[in-house]
Amino acid sequence: MFKLPNYTLKQFMCIAIIGSMMMMESIDTNILTVAIPSIAANLGTTPLNVKLAIVSYLVSLSIFIPISGYLSDKFGSKNILLISIAGFGFSSLLCGLSSSLIKLVIFRFVQGIFGALTVPVGRLLMLKVFSKQELVKVFMLISMPLLLGPLLAPYLGGLLVSYYSWHYIFYVNIPFSLLALLATFRFVDNYRQEVKKFNWKSFIALGVFLAILAFWLDTALDIKNAYVHLIYVVLILIALIIYLKIELNSSNRIVNYKLFKIKSYNLCFWSSAISRITFGAKGFVLILYLQMALKITPLESGFITSWMALGYLFSRIAVSKLLKYLGFKKMLTICNIGTFISMLMFCLIDKPDIFAVIIIVANGFFSAVIPLLIYVLCYADVPSEDYASATGLMSTTQQLFFAAGVTLAAACIFICNKIYAFSYGNQTFMTAFVVIALIGLMGQFCFNKLNPDSGEKLANQTNK
């Protein structure tokens, strides 16, 4: 139990502000998927093209998260939080007013910039407001909205699309942003500290590289000319070489490459990448399968997929109890196999019934345990002075890998649809589920290399 009365009013309001912003961003990340067919029909494009609005938001997050800590320390946590909340709310309004796909993609990218500042700055604020002895309970408390986001997003999205229009999935952010803005102005203090010179050259070079790579991945299926693909590959390689040249010749690097020499962190990083790719692909394909193959309404599909978050909640309760008996390696293996089997069972869903709910809840449970354990285990052997860079690297790349998962899923559906010559039939989506399940199973190569006693000390801390 969390003893809320022990917190001061400012501390409690900080928890409420950061928790609500986490939930809002979590909802915003998941809610657009439900509205994809409606947006495509309204804007005169295809559902696969609408995914660019999802990818642009996630790529924007991955690019701008690394700069959030620097801006918070230099200009003050309160100032940056006010700007990010106001910007997030205003860009949500612009997304809702979009009359074309290109406008929606641009405004979603802008929205991602402010979203990239909101949550990381909020987490840094927690380190300022609470003592180290309180952080475990505080972070457990503010992480609950992250679980509520996926639970509310599909149902809320389906409700808004069915009874209003897709525009309202963005408008719903505005009142929450206004309340958070007022609360931040009233209750949050402005913490600053001295900062080192930021490596702007590396930051810009990395951003250009990621932007070109993401755009090529998203448009690759529509490009018929092989020479255009070659041009993209050359541009990506040039951008990567420029970034590496700037970064490796700098004494103030954005990425701490020494972290990859730590076995546990290296394995956790790549298994996290596979997990995020699978997670992004799964949500995209499942919603399209329910709406386009099974002809289920957005409201019904949102309700069915929202049950996955119940599995997330169960995983939160069960992890601390099971971890002390199984250990990290065994539990990761069990959950990875469970995710694989439950993903294959998506192919058996043919209507929104109790069988579908059970499969979706089970998949939610197994797939949620993996990133939870990885997040704890990745710090097992990382020196305390490298915690910030380790956190920044994981936070930045997980958004990009999620975006890669969405793009991969769209590519798989496109190719399968051509092979089977159906208009988004069952075989197309079933093949996509099998491919995604096999990709997720590849994480087992990383888990097999973990030591049997990996993270033993951290497991004791998790159980407290």
**pLDDT digit string, tens, across residues 285-301:** 888 888 888 888 877 88
Residue 2's pLDDT is what?
40
Tokens of 413: 């559906």
Shared domain check, 223 and 158:
no
* Residue 85 predicted with pLDDT over 80: yes
DSSP string of 438-455, one letter each residue? HHHHTTHHHHHTS-TTTT
pTM: 0.73
DSSP 345: G
Could you tell me what percent of the chain has a pLDDT over 70?
A: 86
Given 231, 251, 271, the domain boundary residue is: 251
* Residue 458 predicted with pLDDT over 60: no
Shared domain check, 355 and 289:
yes
Shared domain check, 303 and 245:
no
The domain in which residue 285 lies consists of: 261-464
Q: How far apart are CA 115 and CA 110, in angstroms?
A: 9
Mean pLDDT of 414-430: 78
- Does some domain include residue 256? no
* Residue 407 predicted with pLDDT over 80: no
Closest listed residue to residue 272, CA positions, set 406, 363, 369: 369
- Does some domain include residue 212? yes
CATH number of the domain within which 448 lies: 1.20.1250.20
Average pLDDT for the chain: 81
**pLDDT digit string, tens, across residues 424-449:** 778 888 899 999 999 999 999 999 88
**pLDDT digit string, tens, across residues 248-280:** 888 777 777 888 888 888 998 999 899 989 988
